[in-house]
Amino acid sequence: MKDNNQIVSNVIWRFFERFGTQLITFIVMTVLARHLTPDEYGTVSLVVIFIAILQVFVDSGMGNALIQKKNADHLDFSSVFYFNTITSVVLYLLMFVLASPIAYFFDEPELVPIIRILSLVLVASGIRNVQQAYVSRHLQFKRFFYATIIGTMVSGAVGIWMAYRGYGVWAMVARQLVSTCVDTFVLWIIVEWKPKWEFSIERIKGMFSFGWKILLTGLLDVVYSNVRQLVIGKLYTSADLAFHTKGKQIPELVGTNINMAIDGVLLPTMSAVQDEREQVTRILRKASRITGYIMAPLLIGLLIIATPLVRLWLTDKWLGVVPYLQAFCVFYLFYPHQLANRNALKSIGRSDIVLKMEIFNKIIGFGGLLISMWFGVWAITISLLVTTAISQILISTVNWKMFGYSFKDQARDVLPSIGLALMMGVAIYFIAWLPLHDALILLIQILLGACIYVALSWIFRMSSFLYILSILKSSIKKKG
pLDDT at 430 over 60: yes
**pLDDT surpassing 80 at residue 310:** yes
E strand spans, 35-184: none
How far from 164 is each of 168, 300, 424, CA to CA, in Å? Answer: 9, 35, 40
Q: What is the largest CA-CA distance in the chain?
A: 69
Question: What pLDDT was estimated at residue 274?
Answer: 57
Cα 355 from chain centroid?
Answer: 19
pLDDT of residue 423: 94
Rounded Cα gap, residues 101 and 87, in angstroms: 22
- Helix, strand or coil, per DSSP, at residue 152: helix
Look at the pTM and tell me if it is higher than 0.95: no
Phi, psi of 227 (to 5 degrees): -65, -30
pLDDT band for position 372 (50/70/90)?
A: very high
**Which residue, among 59, 73, 62, has the nearest Cα to 198 in the 3D structure?**
73
Q: How confident is the model at residue 1 (pLDDT cuts 50, 70, 90)?
A: very low
Quote the DSSP letter at residue 376: -
| pLDDT value for 219 | 74
Model confidence at 323, pLDDT cuts 50, 70, 90, reads very high
Q: What is the pLDDT of residues 270-307, one digit of tens each?
A: 556 655 667 767 777 777 777 788 888 999 999 999 88
Contact present, 412 and 391 (Cβ < 8 Å): no
d(CA 47, CA 262): 28
Contact 329, 251 (CB under 8 A): yes
Average pLDDT, the chain: 78
For residue 117, pLDDT beyond 50: yes
* % of the chain beyond a pLDDT of 70: 80
Tens digits of residue pLDDT in 34-93: 776 666 677 777 777 777 777 777 765 676 677 766 677 778 888 888 888 888 898 889
104-108, 268-272, 328-332, 465-469: which range is least confident on average? 268-272
Tell me: pLDDT of 446 over 50. Answer: yes
Residues 6+ apart with CB under 8 A from 356: none
Cβ atoms 410, 284 nearer than 8 A:
no
Model confidence over 174-231: pLDDT tens digits?
888 888 888 888 888 877 778 888 888 887 777 776 666 667 767 777 777 778 888 8
pLDDT at 444 over 90: yes
Q: What is the mean pLDDT of residues 358-362?
A: 79
What is 192-224 written as a DSSP string?
Answer: -----S---HHHHHHHHHHHHHHHHHHHHHHHH
For 461-471, what is each residue's pLDDT tens digit? 887 788 777 76
